[in-house]
Chains A and B, each alone.
Chain A
Amino acid sequence: MTQAVQLLIIGISLGGVYALMASGLTLIFGVMRIVNIAHAALMITAAYASYWAFRLYHIDPIVSILISMPTMFVLGMLIYKLFFQRIIDSPRIGELTVLLTFALALILEGILGYFYTNIYRSTNPSYATRAILFDPFYLPQGQFYATLMSLVLIALLWAFLQYTKTGYSIRATMQNRTAAQVVGVNVNRVSMIAFSIGTALAGASGSMMTFLFTFYPGKHWEWVAILLSLIVLGGMGSLLGALVGSIMLAIASAYVSFRLGPTWSPITFFLALFLILLFRPQGLFGHKAEF
């Protein structure tokens, strides 16, 4: 029983971070109907920025979110304007953007690999190796802070979507792109904002990744597969789904890791992806396409 509760604590505390990683991806999918294969590569890019900010200037990775988020927001805008703006209205946007974001991921990996090689990196702020003890349980401090920060950012995103005019326009575009256009939403602008916010969230996730996991340029392939399984489980385009799906799979992964060993942990995500596509392809909170 104690072990089960401990695994639950570990799972939940990682699930929050997974949810932040997945929320950017699902927001972009919800608005633009594209799967951003480069999302994890953008996370790794931000992770390197935070890593060097920590190594060179001793800036705490959590504090460096203040730099990584706005920087990645601007990078997101540039990527959107350079690559997506011209094809956003194309009826083949889905196929085109899978190839485009795949290429973008390869480019980012190549650039990072050229400058930083494939050495495993991580930061070691003081809290990364400490734990909060409440006998007989423990909570890794790094995971706790990261999840807390993630939940704050997700709550801010939710409030932004729920209460601001731009948020309304993003939600409207997510629910029905044509209807949004018909009421006067500039869906091209909304798509750019959503892509930039999604990239900024990848930036925040990347900063926290530095003290939770090791990373190197090619690591993004593993991450993007995990993130896709998270958002497919939750329902693509659903923020609530991303949160619930992330926490569920993080708990399941922690349990598999404990029972069968860490090597088996990633299979949890892919097995879940397989099962959800088989039995409920719209995910837990996704919509069927009929409306």
Chain B
Amino acid sequence: MALLELENVTAGYGHGPDILQDLSLTIEAGRSYCIIGPNGAGKSTLMRVICGLLHPRQGKVTYKGEVLNDMRTDEVLRRGISFVPQDRSLFPDMTVMENLRMGGFILSSRKDLHNRVEQVLQTFTILRERSSQRAKTLSGGEQQMLAIGRALVLNPEVIMLDEPSLGLAPKIARQIFEIVRQLKDLGMTVILVEQNARMGLESSDWGCVLDLGTNSFEGPADTVLNDPRIQELYLGKRRESRRESWK
């Protein structure tokens, strides 16, 4: 059964053009998804729409049957969807511990917050060692772990990660993808946007190719990975011909 569903969603910024165009996508519980596509395809916009940072112009976003269209981000969070943005979006002058505690900002019980932060620190032991350090002093990989850890404080059902490997050394990126696999093993539904198509798809169950704001092609991750059209997409073939080739 669909956990999260986007039906014919159109979205864009301000008075600008539509970035997502009539996009439909179904996310099933417990699966991990990797969304790939060229720059400007609307991958990050898709995540911003799901988490309430951007409201769709048309169409419907539903989570467990409830429409999310006009909800604020805090309301979406309360329903169990967390988001790790592309630039990691930490609070640079707060310590690691303060950043993690901010992850549980919407929790009303201090005890709950304490317990959940402790759980995250048990998972990411490096963060415990760095707990009194300011976020801006961490390495890129540690910052990404902190960003993921902060999203996990709420113990979400769905976690969305926007290009978690961006700017990281290959070895660190592999560690991050290993964490992504572990999240799925813990029963979470993972939605991953990734420029590094190979690593992203290898870590996921399902692949989805976004192009010009539409869901052009989707299928099991290994099928998508081995599809020759994926090569075309990243070799920069003309978009019009690419659109035709999906049909």
Contacts and interface: CB of A to CB of B under 8 A. Distances in A.
The yes or no verdict on A and B being binding partners is yes
B92 A168 contact: no
Interface in B88-102: 89-94, 98, 101-102
The interface residues of chain A, by DSSP majority, are classed as helix
Contacts of B51: 182
A180 B83 CA distance: 12
B239 interface: no
A171 interface: yes
A178 B89 CA distance: 7
Contacts of B136: 291
A181 B85 CA distance: 11
Given A168-B102, A291-B136, A182 B91 contact: no
Contacts of B72: 186
Contacts of A169: 105
B167 to A, nearest CB: 12
Given A183-B150, A184-B106, A186-B72, A175 B14 contact: no
B94 A183 contact: no
A172 B83 contact: no
A266 to B, nearest CB: 33
A171 B105 contact: no
Contacts of B93: 171, 175
A176 B90 contact: yes
12 contacts: A91-B14, A175-B92, A175-B94, A176-B90, A179-B85, A179-B89, A179-B90, A179-B102, A180-B91, A183-B103, A186-B72, A287-B92
Interface of A: 90-91, 165, 168-169, 171-172, 175-176, 178-186, 287, 291
Which 9 interchain pairs have the tightest Cβ spacing? A179-B89, A184-B74, A184-B106, A175-B91, A184-B77, A291-B92, A183-B105, A181-B73, A184-B105
Given A168-B105, A176-B90, A183-B102, 10 more contacts: A165-B105, A175-B91, A179-B85, A179-B90, A180-B91, A181-B53, A181-B73, A182-B53, A184-B73, A184-B106
